[in-house]
Chains A and B, each alone.
Chain A
Amino acid sequence: MSGPSTFQPKNPVLKWIERRLPIFGLVHSSFVAYPTPRNLNYWWTFGGILSFMLGVQIVTGVILAMHYTPHADLAFNSVEAIVRDVDYGWLLRYLHSNGASMFFIAVYIHMLRGLYYGSYKEPREILWILGVIIYLLMMATGFMGYVLPWGQMSFWGATVITNLFSAIPYFGESIVTLLWGGYSVGNPTLNRFFSLHYLLPFVIAGVVVLHVWALHVAGQNNPAGVEPKSSKDTVPFTPYATIKDGFGLACFILFYFWFVFYIPNYLGDPDNYIPANPGVTPPHIVPEWYYLPFYAILRSIPDKLAGVVAMFSAILVLAFLPWLDSAKTRSMRYRPLAKQCFWIFVGVCLGLGYLGAKPPEGVYVIAGRILTACYFAYFLIVLPILSRIEKPRAVPNSIADDVLGKKKSVVASALAVIGVAGLLALDSGSTARASDHGSTPPSMSWSFAGPFGKFDQGQLQRGYKVYKEVCAACHSMNLVHYRNLTDPGGPGLSIAQAEALAAEIQVKDGPNDAGDMFERPGRIADKFPSPFPNENAARAANGGAAPPDLSLMAKARGYERGFPQFIFDAFTQFQEKGPNYIHALLTGFEDTPPEGFKLPDGSTYNRYFPGHAMKMPNVLSDDQVTYDDGAPQNVDQYAKDVAAFLMWAAEPKLEERKRLGFQVMIFMVILAGLLYFTKRAVWADAH
């Protein structure tokens, strides 16, 4: 496992290098000849998957940083420019943002596997503690990365999390000011988060090297939890573990790409498509799903400092696990009681994750306290006591015996898979706003839904007409340019048509050489203008409420889908909350509010608007916009068309994404199949 390498290069060049820097020998002994236990199951593949995900995050992150601007005024738009204008920018961004989720899914499975099979026990304590350090670094990195797009959730997440440090007695406030570099979360905060978000992955990579080093000294644990005794117990890492990990990785990539290509915003919060606004807090601040259990623990404790301490303790307690659990038997496979407690613990974690996404009211608070107590009880009471009183079943004499007497524990695996799916399904965004009191918008049928969905060109053109003749009187779309109307996968106008449309507007430009501002006709490189010179003018003209920019409206609005509907959404690729909501809003105006509802002055009653009192009047009426393609000229049709148009404006690369996704998925299925048969062929020798 360690010690001098047996690698003897034949090639004189390799020999020359090896004599001076034994790097090939190191690689050979670590990744080729390294003996791995024969009985490893697929839960062990997640180590390799994590290395892969770290690589993906670093590569895509370095590239995104080439296009990203870490400035409070520019960050949001620079992220949108990546998605809209950079070649494959949408792919790189979605790979990175969904990659973070995949990284955490993999790390949670990796950690639970370690818990179940006792991978933290002697002689692997340092290996385990290094893992806890990696997990903490991941949490810091993930949090800071989430702040960078500078949306509403980013901004308020940063505010809430940094304010955790204000709980520290005496120095709290000064520490928070120090973290912010200002009197509130602002540009200095964003700059340092960007710098650290770029740095920390390399620190993680460094600790991963130590983690793998420690692993290679102690050797891998295995499902039987007995150390290899003879060469019959192990197989060389290459080709056996390599090909097995390769197949597992291909399956994981299929799962990952399902999200990237078909439901890229499923795991995110719609609020983060609203630019950061220091003046308005979203109704519910929720972290990304992977922090929800800890967020629930934080909120369960009715004391600021104690809550923060509890949250950090919930992670740090893991580092003491090797001493809290003193059982001699490693694998819970032979510890019936511990096994049951382990699955209860998994349930507790899922429950905490669910509660973290719920508003902290009523029964959720009580449930949160109970589960928090259970969480800590598992580590501080259950494991220490069980390890002293439980009589484990007999463990096999050797790994070879384990392989021969193998009975598949299908039930446990299935349970675990369901558990993981449940964890994943605790999507924060859709569940977090329980108290909106709005009616649920009906699901419409959209041509762009589903894996092969495409925009209806005629519909987009009609939608643009509605936008131009109705919406543009108050709203801007400052992320959409006239040139975009000619982009493939869009309304499909010719360049001449787009130029003619652009020329209809007057754009303020300058200053010229005389220092004056001047007006000029629009060009196709110009964006859809705002009818108001600035935000204050817009407010003045609209009774105090500035009409929001519509560029991202279809992605920035959502509604609660409820449990269990949002779990099915991952399978059905439901991504149409935004357009459903826009359509519902535009058709949801009612002249007379229901009895008992007090409508404030200057508002209109809308069934679907949160709070129902909407500042925007009902602007659509039948026969208002003339269609020349024979489509019905009524409010319902107008609302549908403009909602589809706004969906395209929010996600102009949707068609390209689905098309490329299909090709990639087919390819990955073929590759996974080939890897499976190769794996079988390779492992046929091992039995």
Chain B
Amino acid sequence: MTTSSSAGQSRRDFLFVATGAVAAVGAAAAAWPLVAQLNPDASTVAAGAPIEVDLSPIAEGQDIKVFWRGKPIFISHRTKKQIEEARNVNVASLPDPQPDSARVKEGHDQWLVVIGICTHLGCVPIAHEGAYDGFFCPCHGSVYDTSGRIRQGPAPSNLPVPPYAFISDSKIKIG
């Protein structure tokens, strides 16, 4: 008698565990769409397509701001002096060491294209300000140089360079 009842018991336990497990899987699967809907929707993704920017109206020493995927992109037409300043730095002494050549496209030294979002906490720095003739973030005092590299203040890294390419001498495609 004991044997058969314990066998019945284990069959029953298996049924309970299986039911619970299947129900748990269902609950977890039901949560998936509830989370997935938070992702960018298809129209947002489509609107994030690459943009083209005509550089010809930007005079030397001038910089413009364009938007791509909701982020400000700074495009600076650097002067000779600014390029010199960016080059004549001991790269090893920088908090985030990167030579200027790694931040611009070869043959297009005068064009600096960076995402204008401070790497500290996401404020937008001001161009042509700060001790290094580059960018200055008014929120917490981070200072970037003419190559957009961090020189002073709490920001941990350089202003990021977005993916872009020259499609002609005076036109770039960002994205």
Contacts and interface: CB of A to CB of B under 8 A. Distances in A.
Interface stretch (A82-90, A199-207, A438-446): A82-90
B70 interface: no
Interface in A522-556: 523-525
B106 interface: no
Nearest to B11: A681
B34 interface: yes
A151 B16 CA distance: 48
B37 interface: yes
A400 to B, nearest CB: 25
A667 B46 contact: no
Given A667-B26, A670-B22, A681-B15, A89 B46 contact: no
Contacts of B80: none
A59 B23 CA distance: 19
Interface string A655-675: 000000000000110110011
B41 A85 contact: yes
A681 B12 contact: yes
A523 B15 contact: no
Given A481-B46, A524-B46, A87 B26 contact: no
A91 interface: yes
A523 B175 CA distance: 15
Interface string A73-85: 0000000010011
Interface in B28-59: 29, 32-34, 36-39, 41-44, 46-47, 49
Contacts of B34: 59, 63, 92
B39 A87 contact: yes
B19 A86 contact: no
B37 A674 contact: no
A211 interface: no
Contacts of B29: 667
Interface string A481-506: 10100010000000000000000000
Contacts of A674: 15, 18-19, 22
Interface in A53-107: 59, 63, 66-67, 81, 84-89, 91-92
A678 interface: yes
A177 to B, nearest CB: 38
B175 to A, nearest CB: 13
Contacts of A671: 19, 22-23, 26
B15 A677 contact: yes
Given A87-B37, A91-B33, A523-B49, A678 B43 contact: no
B37 A525 contact: no
A483 B42 CA distance: 9
Given A87-B33, A89-B37, A91-B33, A675 B19 contact: yes
A67 B32 CA distance: 17
Contacts of B49: 523-525
B41 A87 contact: yes
Contacts of B41: 67, 81, 85-87, 89
Interface string B118-140: 00000000000000000000000
Contacts of A667: 22, 26, 29
A88 B15 contact: no
A66 B35 CA distance: 12
Contact of A525 (B18, B33, B36, B47): B47
Contacts of B39: 87
A183 B49 CA distance: 44
Contacts of B33: 87-88, 91-92
Contacts of B15: 674, 677-678, 681
Contacts of A92: 33-34, 37
A4 to B, nearest CB: 31
A575 to B, nearest CB: 22
Given A670-B22, A674-B19, A85 B42 contact: yes
Query: Which of B41, B42, B47 counts the most chain A CB atoms within 10 A?
Result: B42
Nearest to B33: A88
Interface string B1-35: 00000000000100110110011001001001110
Q: How large is the interface on B (under 10, 10 to 19, 20 to 34, 35 or more residues)?
A: 20 to 34
Contacts of B12: 681
A678 B49 CA distance: 53
A628 B44 CA distance: 35
A525 B22 contact: no
Contacts of A88: 32-33, 36-37
A523 B47 CA distance: 10
Contacts of B37: 63, 66-67, 86-89, 92
Contacts of A67: 37, 41
A508 B34 CA distance: 37
A487 B15 CA distance: 43
A677 to B, nearest CB: 6
Given A525-B49, A674-B15, A681-B15, A84 B42 contact: yes
Contacts of A66: 37-38
Contacts of B46: 481, 483, 524-525
A63 B38 CA distance: 9
Nearest to B25: A667
B74 to A, nearest CB: 17
Interface string A217-252: 000000000000000000000000000001000000
B65 to A, nearest CB: 12
Nearest to A59: B34
A85 B19 contact: no
Nearest to A680: B15
Contacts of A481: 43, 46
Query: Which of A81, A87, A681 counts the most chain B CB atoms within 10 A?
Result: A87
A525 B44 CA distance: 9
A272 to B, nearest CB: 22
Given A483-B46, A525-B47, A87 B19 contact: no
B10 to A, nearest CB: 12
B102 to A, nearest CB: 32
A668 B60 CA distance: 67
B140 to A, nearest CB: 31
Contacts of A81: 41, 43
A67 B15 CA distance: 41
A487 B46 CA distance: 12
A681 B38 CA distance: 41
Query: Which of A66, A84, A85, A523 counts the most chain B CB atoms within 10 A?
Result: A85
Nearest to B57: A513
A162 to B, nearest CB: 32
Nearest to A523: B49
A668 B42 CA distance: 30
Contacts of B36: 87-88
Contacts of A678: 15-16, 19
Nearest to B47: A525
Contacts of A89: 37, 41
9 contacts: A66-B37, A85-B44, A86-B37, A86-B41, A89-B37, A525-B46, A525-B49, A668-B26, A670-B22
Shortest 7 CB-CB contacts between residues of A and residues of B:
A88-B33, A85-B42, A85-B41, A525-B46, A674-B19, A87-B36, A678-B19
Interface of A: 59, 63, 66-67, 81, 84-89, 91-92, 246, 481, 483, 487, 523-525, 667-668, 670-671, 674-675, 677-678, 681
Given A88-B37, A525-B43, 18 more contacts: A63-B37, A81-B41, A85-B41, A85-B44, A86-B37, A87-B36, A88-B32, A91-B33, A92-B37, A246-B23, A481-B43, A483-B46, A525-B49, A668-B26, A671-B22, A671-B26, A674-B19, A675-B19
